[in-house]
Amino acid sequence: MLISTSKLRSLSVKHNRTLCHVFQFTQKPANNDNLDQIANLLKQPNWEHNIYLKSIASHMSPESACKVISLHNENVALCVRFFKWVCKQSTYCYSVDSRIHLSNLIMRGNYFGVLHKVVVVLIKDCSNTVNEALRLISVLDDMRKFGFRISYPCYSTLLMCLSKLQMALPAFSVYKRMVNDGFILGSIDYNTLINALCKNGFVRGAEMFVSRIVKLGFDIDVHISTSLVLGYCRIGDLKEAFQVFDVMSKRDGCGANEVTFTILIHGLCETGKLTEAFALKGKMVMNGCHPTTRTYTVLIKAICDLGSTDKAMYLLDEMLKKGSNPNAHTYTILINGLCMEGKIEEANSMFRKMIKDGLIPGTITYNALINGYCKQERVVSAFELLSMMEKRNSRPNIRTFNELMEGLCRIGKPYKAMALLRKIVENDLRPETLTYNILIDGFCKEGQLDMAFRILNSMDSLHLESDGFAYTTLIDQLSKEGKVDQANGILGLMMKKGVILDEVTFTVLIDGYCKNGKTENAVMIFDRMVKHLTLTSPHIFNSLIDAFNKDTKVGYSNAIFGKMLKCGVTPSVVTYTILIDGYLRECNFDQSLKVFESMKLCNCPPNVYTFTIFIDALCQNGRMDEGLKLLETMRDAGVSPNVVTYTILIKAYVKSGDLEHAFGILNNMVKDKCPPNFETFSSLLEGLVISSNGKTKNKNSSFIVFKEMNATHSVEFLQKAKKHGVKDSDVNSFLIMGLYKVGRIVEGYELAQEMVKNGYFPDITACSQILEHLCHEGKYDDCVVWMKLMFDHGPMPSFESCCCLFHGLRKEGKIQELQDLMCNLLWKAGVEEKDGVLSYMESLLNCDEHDECLKLLKVVEELNHQERPII
């Protein structure tokens, strides 16, 4: 046997149903007259283009095709031509299994002369994946039982296919069978075997065969040498790879080609040696070899992996100037890199250019772009891509649906994510552990623990092993809801089921106890954990130190810090910052400064949060001038202040009644391109209202100030903010939000309309408030007008706002307005292929269907008991 047949069958795809099997009970067999007629047509020239023959062949079963072949079995070439043709024309003979079935019928008819040629065709056409190759090997093993002796061309072709799929061990088994069957291998077979071994990193085995071919008198050519270079690169031995390269480059050597150089460049990139990789590209040109598309693609990927897509674009320009056209893989790498950097528009442009250049995007390309859109919560555009995949026959895989599910969960739509189980089943896919982890995480974030537990139970019925993520997510959510004892029960359940307890799970539970004021329980779990786990992260220690600091137990914090050092865990900048915060809470500036200085000595420079805590402590004690000096020190250290840092200073000066200084800091903030937030503006407006009315500051008065504010205050605030570099639109958006929060809806709406008249638009948060309020009041006509303005001039409406309005319009029976708005939404989202995505949009905008989702879960559970459920 080439490989154990039972092992091969276990590796092959289970329950693979083919069209042949589905229809063989319904299709009537062709009668002998028809078969004779078809056989006669094959004698005519250009019979492949005969329309009548094509129409008959479209419904030809493997049995009928075999009978036609039997009528011409003496003409082997014609039979093989017919085999190739009928497998493409017939819906019954198209799949891999049906072609194998046809081959078996030919074998049982003892037409071995035809079969030898057919098997070669079968190997070439039906070994595109590892599973297909293993299936074919199993089939060849079964054929031997019927007396079929595999020919040399079959073996040689199979070797090439296995090498291409990087299946070194099966290739070696095929080699042994060839030898046992008495075949003498040619140089091309040895080259193929050496290449297969090197691709899988079996370099020593490859070297053994190199020695053998030398003894046989074959030359060690550039292909064998390049395979060895590849093998050494695969095992990370660049020194040996370059030694082979040096031998190749000698005057009496075989010479290195573009493939050799590219493999070495890839090896250098894999080990992070980009400078050397680019230097080798230069040497490549000097040696008369021109960088290929593959060479540039390798370098582009290495640059994108470092997050430098701008540099990758320059390399793409160079590539085009040198006459090397990017392929689908090049584009996919660039699209993925741009998406990882959040440059979704550039990624989409690259995708469109790829299609314009006549290249067909693969599933990986679509998945990269879908992931990019979902991370930015632009699910409409993501579903457009799914629609394009279906339209262009690019089959989505389970990762496609996982990305879409995660995107829907990001916008708070876990039920819609769960509804995608229907599409997974329809595409003959099976949900995996990650699929369920995404759903559990999505429902937990929405506080729907009952559904999260239901999904976890469904995983058990499917015998999917949880990797601990699902349980950790549930522990985290229970802790956030104050149910830490239940969370601890989940930990016990994990232990009972044998799920590996890692540091993350314990960290989440201990952090939950700490935040719920149960530090004693947290310490008990921590002490037990230290005995059984080797800690590598400072997160658990940080949670405990922070909890003790908030209880003003600095002594306990220091004890935990000491235990952290004893465990060999390196304190992070967060650890030091928490310690400093603890000392500052006790106004112990001297000790906090000592920790601050020790950070520098430990090569752990303070970050923006460390500086901000110091500045806050100084401001709390009325030492604003020292806080400003520390701000300059912060800048000198290369740390940029954030919105919290500036807002703390602004609040302190407002509290002291020094509005001029407060607005001065706002001016610096704008110059530093640090956008003020709602709290920043609230503090300044509050100071202005207090100074005008002569009232004292209220506690927690971020919104109270909007109750006391009048038109004069808003105009004065707008003028002052504008004088210090703030845009009118930013100030007005802030005022609209505040007015809406305290119920001054009419004034907020009038201000928004005034903004639009003056040619600018409120920001997305203010717009969402306006839309949601109008929907809540049932003023759908006003809401439609406002949303149309957003489509024409403003930001993209939030998905939640759209759902709110669309549900209202549907409730009132305003279907035409609903359809118009949906089209406008697609236009605003930049969707080009609207027809395909409209059905998805309608589904997403429907109300959540709890019971329907539970039914879907049951259907998926039935996948273990039947080949494919029908929904």
Residue 230 reports pLDDT greater than 80 = yes
Q: What is the pLDDT of residues 838-868, one digit of tens each?
A: 778 777 777 777 777 887 788 777 765 554 4
Question: Distance (Å, rounded) from C-alpha 59 to C-alpha 49?
Answer: 16
Q: What CA–CA distances, in Å, run from 208 to 160, 171, 204, 782?
A: 19, 15, 6, 80
- For residue 2, the one-letter residue type is L
% of the chain with per-residue pLDDT over 90? 44
Q: What CA–CA distances, in Å, run from 267 to 168, 260, 309, 316, 328?
A: 20, 11, 21, 20, 22
DSSP states of 422-452 as a string? HHHHHTT----HHHHHHHHHHHHHTT-HHHH
pLDDT at position 19: 30
Instruction: At 226, list the tokens.
Output: 């390049």
Q: What CA–CA distances, in Å, run from 322 to 291, 317, 319, 758, 852?
A: 9, 9, 5, 51, 57
Q: How many CB atoms lie within 10 A of CB 57?
A: 25
State the number of CA atoms in the 13 A half-sphere of 119 facing the CB: 29
Q: What is the pLDDT of residues 134-179, one digit of tens each?
A: 988 888 888 888 888 889 999 999 999 999 999 999 999 999 999 9
- Rounded to an integer, the average pLDDT of 479-487 is 92
Closest alpha carbon to 529 in 545, 515, 508, 557 = 508
The domain ranges of the chain are 1-147, 728-832
Q: Please, what is the angle between helix 363-375 and helix 328-340, to 10°? A: 10
% of the chain with per-residue pLDDT over 70? 94
Closest alpha carbon to 484 in 450, 521, 456 = 521
Instruction: At 455, list the tokens.
Output: 């999904």
20, 61 contact by CB (below 8 A): yes
Confidence of residue 59 (pLDDT cuts 50, 70, 90): confident
Residue 253 has phi, psi (to 5 degrees) of -85, 175
Long-range pairs for 729-735: beta carbons < 8 A, 24 or more residues apart? 729/755, 729/760, 729/761, 729/762, 729/763, 730/675, 730/676, 730/763, 731/681, 732/760, 732/762, 733/762, 733/763, 733/765, 733/766, 734/678, 734/681, 734/682, 734/766
Which CATH code of 3.90.79.10, 1.20.120.1770, 1.25.40.10, 3.90.1640.10 fits the domain covering 728-832?
1.25.40.10
Q: What CA–CA distances, in Å, run from 306 to 168, 269, 589, 802?
A: 32, 11, 41, 38
- For residue 423, the one-letter residue type is K
413, 844 contact by CB (below 8 A): yes
Helix (H) / strand (E) element for 353: namely helix 344-356
Long-range pairs for 48-53: beta carbons < 8 A, 24 or more residues apart? 48/81, 48/85
The torsion of the CA quartet 215, 217, 218, 219, rounded to 10 degrees, works out to 100
Q: What is the pLDDT of residues 581-634, one digit of tens each?
A: 999 988 888 999 999 889 888 889 999 999 999 999 999 999 999 999 999 999
Confidence of residue 33 (pLDDT cuts 50, 70, 90): low
Confidence of residue 484 (pLDDT cuts 50, 70, 90): very high
Question: Distance (Å, rounded) from C-alpha 149 to C-alpha 160?
Answer: 19
Instruction: At 842, list the tokens.
Output: 């309608």
- Dihedral class, residue 727 (left if φ above 0, else alpha if ψ from -120 to 50, else beta): beta
457, 465 contact by CB (below 8 A): no
Give the range among 51-55, 337-341, 383-387 with minimum mean pLDDT.
51-55
Question: Distance (Å, rounded) from C-alpha 756 to C-alpha 729?
Answer: 10
State the number of CA atoms in the 13 A half-sphere of 792 facing the CB: 9
768, 756 contact by CB (below 8 A): no
pLDDT at position 695: 58
The whole model's pTM is what? 0.80
Q: Considering the chain, what is the average pLDDT of its residues? A: 86
Closest alpha carbon to 145 in 107, 106, 102, 183 = 107
Residue 715 reports pLDDT greater than 80 = yes
573, 605 contact by CB (below 8 A): yes
Which residue would you say has higher pLDDT here, 551 or 701? 551
Q: What is the pLDDT of residues 522-543, one digit of tens each?
A: 999 888 888 778 888 899 999 9
- Rounded to an integer, the average pLDDT of 794-807 is 82
Helix (H) / strand (E) element for 316: namely helix 309-321
